[in-house]
A = this chain, B = another copy of it.
């Protein structure tokens, strides 16, 4: 059901039956260490390349979330997946093992939000019953692809973020289950370009898109800034979160009480993480591990997830393009 200009409330209940998360060693030592389903001991996981490790991580979280739900593979109607690797090879190569229909989505680090948003339309009475959303990223694979191979030992800039090694999956279903959160609304985001060109300052590039999507969502639904217990943006990082706060304040919305950023939170303060984490696995892992479990435990009731993505390729930056941002908002509530 349409609500306002760009926000949609699913007609049927969409229950998040189960989730699964896997993270790398650094993330395992971070703030949510006790919440993850699996923490890797190293970045290879017995694979020859980091790309193959990432494929294995995607496969793991898809397999586990099906098993944990006591479902068979043939019960799953679709895998909606994405990642940051060229041509989405991590998520698609993982999905080929399952003989399940597959849709590849890309909104950079906001891909988990796009997967949830698309699924909120796929699932419904007479349409799909069970859909898996899955995104992830691997530090080594992403560094090599977008920046430099790790072996070079390049020094990160103070305004930059670490791409997390993490993958998260969520099984969304039309079938009721007691005590699990529901997906209750989604706002599909516009691409917003403030002409930031510094690939080491992604928070600045993405904050305007996050502000646009959050304010659209609040206006569309008529909800005030106090409706949600928490708004979790994807991976703006510490400065990026401040930028977003300022942009919303200028428009008359004070999000100070509820605004959190998964990238800024995922590592502990004493970890040398610059602005925090980023990557398609960042919000995916924090949601499927920490937020989902806290909601099921009754400690959060209403959460707005706003994964944020910076749109660029290595080629686009070399050709002098700026870095547009995108953010999709998805409301998850205990109802």
Seen from chain A, the residues whose Cβ lies within 8 Å of a Cβ on chain B are: 1-2, 6, 8, 11, 48-49, 51-52, 77-78, 82, 84-89, 92-93, 95-96, 99-108, 114, 117-118, 121-122, 126-128, 145, 188-193, 311-316, 319, 321, 324, 326
Residues in B neighbouring A8, C-beta threshold 8 A: 127-128
The answer to whether A104 and B102 have CB atoms under 8 Å apart is no
The answer to whether A315 and B89 have CB atoms under 8 Å apart is yes
User: Which chain B residue lies CB-closest to A99?
Assistant: B190
Are A95 and B191 also in contact (CB < 8 A) when A87-B311, A313-B86, A314-B86 are? Answer: yes
- Which residue of the partner chain, among B49, B122, B314, contacts A121 with CB atoms under 8 Å? B122
Residues in B neighbouring A193, C-beta threshold 8 A: 96
Q: Kindly state the separation between the CA atoms of A44 and B213 in the bound complex, as whole angstroms.
A: 35
Residues in B neighbouring A104, C-beta threshold 8 A: 105-107, 114
Within the complex, the shortest CB–CB distance from A182 to chain B, in Å, comes to: 18
Residues in B neighbouring A128, C-beta threshold 8 A: 2, 8
| Known contacts A49-B319, A96-B193; 11 further A-B pairs (Cβ under 8 A) | A2-B128, A6-B77, A8-B127, A52-B319, A84-B87, A86-B86, A86-B315, A95-B191, A101-B190, A104-B105, A104-B106
Within the complex, the shortest CB–CB distance from A302 to chain B, in Å, comes to: 23
The answer to whether B114 and A103 have CB atoms under 8 Å apart is yes
Q: Kindly state the separation between the CA atoms of A78 and B93 in the bound complex, as whole angstroms.
A: 28
9 contacts between A and B (CB under 8 A): A1-B126, A2-B127, A52-B319, A86-B87, A96-B191, A101-B188, A102-B189, A103-B188, A104-B105
Are A105 and B102 also in contact (CB < 8 A) when A87-B312, A319-B52 are? Answer: no
Q: Kindly state the separation between the CA atoms of A80 and B314 in the bound complex, as whole angstroms.
A: 23
User: Which chain B residue lies CB-closest to A10?
Assistant: B127
Q: Kindly state the separation between the CA atoms of A41 and B157 in the bound complex, as whole angstroms.
A: 44
Q: Kindly state the separation between the CA atoms of A78 and B188 in the bound complex, as whole angstroms.
A: 8
Q: Kindly state the separation between the CA atoms of A78 and B187 in the bound complex, as whole angstroms.
A: 11
